[in-house]
Amino acid sequence: MALVLKQPSVLPGFGLTLGFALFYFSLIVLIPLSGLIVKTTTLTWQQFWHTVTEPRAMASYQLTFGASFLGALINGFFGSVVAWVLVRYHFPGRSIVDALVDLPFALPTAVAGIALTAIYSSNGWIGSYLEPLGLKVAFTPLGVLVALTFIGLPFVVRTVQPVLQDLDKEVEEAATTLGANRWQTFRAVIVPELWPALLTGMAMAFARSVGEYGSVIFIAGNMPLKSEITPLLIMTKLEQYDYAGATALGVVMLVVSFVLALMINLIQWWSGRRHTAS
């Protein structure tokens, strides 16, 4: 009987690195999430349903996910514009603007929240001009949107910017020589190349916004049923020693975030496959 020799792996140490990666992923991600679910199972189905569907919780879902999604859309547009300007134009102070894009990454979230509240309050630099126009930002749901847009901008810029840098300008020039105008070139040549990166940046901005706490609580006003986000409601339940109720809200956020992220990734995969096929 002939012995069949196992073919060596192309990647040296693949088994060891795979095992370490799975162990690390389980330790950091799977075990904490499992603990979240296990703690929630201490509630009966009726208790769980009452906790996650009470009016205060439903209002917080609407604000948290709605503002996060809208902020991701705003950053998808303006983040692409910022990335385009930084890549395609050279102007005095360009390196400073490029560095300022990363400011939400480096700035502590509590500091960002205090700064945004001071700027957009009724006596702030910007809020004092907006309030006479009937636009009150601080301590309203609009303030939540401003804070989430602020912390999500770098994700879109930093994912779109490298794609723009690697985009071959000769393709744009070829489209122009074939009679395409600037809008046709942008829509048919540039957008298909940017679309996967743009979706990735928006998904990352959305995921970051859903779990944001520090920069929001100062500018939101934290009024139940009006400007209270779900992470704050979870913290409130923890302070009341309602650990099962807090984990129940956490499970809802986990499931909804996972489903939305999965949908975005499927759309990104489909658009990338369609672009490759074309």
Per residue in 205-240, pLDDT (tens digit) is 998 899 899 889 999 988 988 999 999 999 999 999
For residue 88, the model assigns a pLDDT of 87
Question: Which tokens hold the place of 78?
Answer: 């303006």
**pLDDT tens profile 22-80:** 888 888 888 888 888 888 989 999 999 999 999 999 999 999 999 999 999 999 999 99
Quick one: average pLDDT of 131-141? 90
Q: What is the pLDDT of residue 28?
A: 85
3-state helix, strand, coil in the chain (%, to 5): 80, 0, 20
What's the CATH number where 205 sits? 1.10.3720.10
Q: Is 43 left (phi over 0), alpha (psi -120 to 50) or beta?
A: beta
- Residue 165 pLDDT > 80, yes or no? yes
Answer yes or no: is 210 within a domain: yes
Take residue 107 and report the two structure tokens written for it: 């700035």
Residue 72 lies inside a defined structural domain of this protein: yes
- Within-domain flag for 246: yes
How many domains are contained in the chain?
1
When pLDDT is averaged across residues 255-271 and rounded to a whole number, the result is 78
The range of the structural domain enclosing residue 127 comes to: 51-277
Tell me the residue type at 94.
R
Q: Is residue 124 part of a domain?
A: yes
Residue located via tokens 């540039």: 190
Task: Give the H or E element holding residue 75.
Answer: helix 55-88
More confident residue, 15 or 164: 164
Nearest to 157, CA basis, from 89, 91, 97: 97
Residue 5 belongs to some domain of the structure: no
Whether 37 is covered by a domain: the verdict is no
Is 74 part of a structural domain of the chain? yes
Task: Give the HSE-up count for residue 265: Cα atoms under 13 Å, Cβ half-sphere.
Answer: 8
